[in-house]
Structure 1
Amino acid sequence: MLHAEFRDPLLVTVYDAECPWTREDDFFLAVVGETPNGRVLDLGCGTGRLALGLAAAGHTVTGVDPARASLQAARAKPGSEQVIWVEGTSADLPDSAFDVAVMTSHVAQFFVTDEEFDRALADLRRALVAGGRLVFDTRDPAARRWEKWNPVDSQRLVELADGTVATAWTEVTAVIDGAVSFTHHYTFPDRRELQSTATLRFRTEKEVRAALHAAGLQVEHIYGGWNREPIGDGDGELLVIAHT
């Protein structure tokens, strides 16, 4: 299933267990915090980890995601009543409604074609107020992170909330013009085996800057790591902060 870790209820629990709060969330929380008590959009909010953290920090948060199973998991978490949850995409965003928009966990890479990415950025530009900020992460292709997505380097054990331990690993199936296709494999103690397929686009800094400019967004900073290192000196990331 395409993106099954967000759409299959069982794999959503695996995703949730694999993705606790980290310094990545600290980065987004800090940047958003530069706009106190802001109206914040979390596009591709998934199971709500960052959206809930932002709401707890005093922001008015709207989480938008097309995956119903992920949103159901988000709504079941403590504090979920503080967030407005919307099942939808960037096309469903209201005009001039947010002070800050974020896309985390490399959601920007889910827009594989240039047309998809351009449309999402245009929607985000429309949804932000004058002077509003957009913050997102995307992997730097120069770091070639996908080379670690193989059965040996990617194999991990994931303990779920009920104590069940799943085995997971990833294999790359194609790399074509910056688009990396792969399959996540999951095995459970009862011998069930599930898979999730996806393709992510790795855009260069030049490509990211060009797309933002075309959408009418001005780049403030692009960092290479979660401690705001220069590009190429950090964690193999492109951490983008832009404004309208």
Structure 2
Amino acid sequence: MRHGEFHHPRLVRVYDAECPWSRDDDWFLARVCETPAARVLDLGCGTGRLALGMAAAGHTVTGVDPAGPSLAAARSKRGADRVTWIEGTSALLPDRSYDVAVMTSHVAQFFVDDAEWARTLADLARALVPGGRLAFDSRDPADRRWERWNPVDSRRRITLPGGEMVRAWTEVTAVDGGTVAFTHHYLFGDGEELLSSATLRFRTEDELRGSLRAAGLAVERIHGGWGGEPVGRGDGEFLVLARRE
């Protein structure tokens, strides 16, 4: 199953349990709060963790995601009525409607094809007001994170609400230039095993800068870690802040 964590109801519950609020959410929320009472777009909002946090902080938030089961989970959470939820893609975004746009949890890497990535950035630039800001994260390929995605190093146990334990591990199935394909394995207590496959694009800093420039988005800065470290000295990340020109 492709992207099962977002489309299969049982795996959506696992994703929610495995991905609680963390320092990356703190970083994105801090960037959004640099614009008081902002109109915020969360593209690829998933089950709504950050969208709900931004709404609770006083922002007007729209969460957009193509995965209906993930949005159903988001809509069921406390405070969900404060967020506008839209099932779809960036093509649905209205013009000049947001002060800030975010893509978190490495959503940017799911746009494997360069043409699709270019269209998404163009849609985001169109949806931002002049001077509006875009923030997103993408893993630095120089960190070679995928080399730690193997059945030994990635093995973990996930506890679901109610106490059910799920065993999980990841295996990389292909590495081709800047793309990495992998499969997550989830083994439930009742013996059911579900697989979720995906492919991510690892773009270099130069590739990211070039694609943003082509979309009319000027890079303000790129950090290498959640503590504001320079590229190459942080957490193996590109934390990108750009502005619509």
Name the TM-score, length of structure 2 as normaliser. Answer: 0.99
1:101 maps onto 2:101 in alignment:
yes
Q: 1:123: which partner in 2?
A: 123
Per the TM alignment, residue 177 of structure 1 is displaced from its structure 2 partner at its CA by 1.5
For 2:166 and 2:212, the matched residues in 1 are separated by: 39
Q: 1:111: which partner in 2?
A: 111
Per the TM alignment, residue 162 of structure 1 is displaced from its structure 2 partner at its CA by 1.8
For 2:209 and 2:81, the matched residues in 1 are separated by: 36
Per the TM alignment, residue 135 of structure 1 is displaced from its structure 2 partner at its CA by 0.2
Per the TM alignment, residue 66 of structure 1 is displaced from its structure 2 partner at its CA by 0.3
- Tell me the C-alpha RMSD between the 2 structures: 0.4
Unaligned segments of structure 1, at least 5 residues? none
For 1:9 and 1:36, the matched residues in 2 are separated by: 35
For 1:5 and 1:169, the matched residues in 2 are separated by: 13
Per the TM alignment, residue 166 of structure 1 is displaced from its structure 2 partner at its CA by 0.2
Q: CA-to-partner distance for each residue in 1:131-180, whole Å, 9 max, x for gaps?
A: 00000000000000000100000010000012100001000000102100
Q: 1:141: which partner in 2?
A: 141
For 2:83 and 2:50, the matched residues in 1 are separated by: 11
For 1:26 and 1:186, the matched residues in 2 are separated by: 28
One-letter amino acid matched to 2:56? A
For 2:81 and 2:195, the matched residues in 1 are separated by: 32
Between the aligned residues of both structures, percent identity stands at 69
Per the TM alignment, residue 111 of structure 1 is displaced from its structure 2 partner at its CA by 0.2
Per the TM alignment, residue 53 of structure 1 is displaced from its structure 2 partner at its CA by 0.2
Q: 1:74: which partner in 2?
A: 74
One-letter amino acid matched to 1:148? R
Q: CA-to-partner distance for each residue in 1:200-223, whole Å, 9 max, x for gaps?
A: 000000000000000000000100
Per the TM alignment, residue 12 of structure 1 is displaced from its structure 2 partner at its CA by 0.3
> Within 5 Å, which residues of 2 pair with 1:203-242?
203-242=203-242
> Within 5 Å, which residues of 2 pair with 1:181-192?
181-192=181-192
Q: 1:30: which partner in 2?
A: 30
Unaligned segments of structure 2, at least 5 residues? none
Name the TM-score, length of structure 1 as normaliser. Answer: 1.00
Q: CA-to-partner distance for each residue in 1:32-81, whole Å, 9 max, x for gaps?
A: 00000000000000000000000000000000000000000000000000
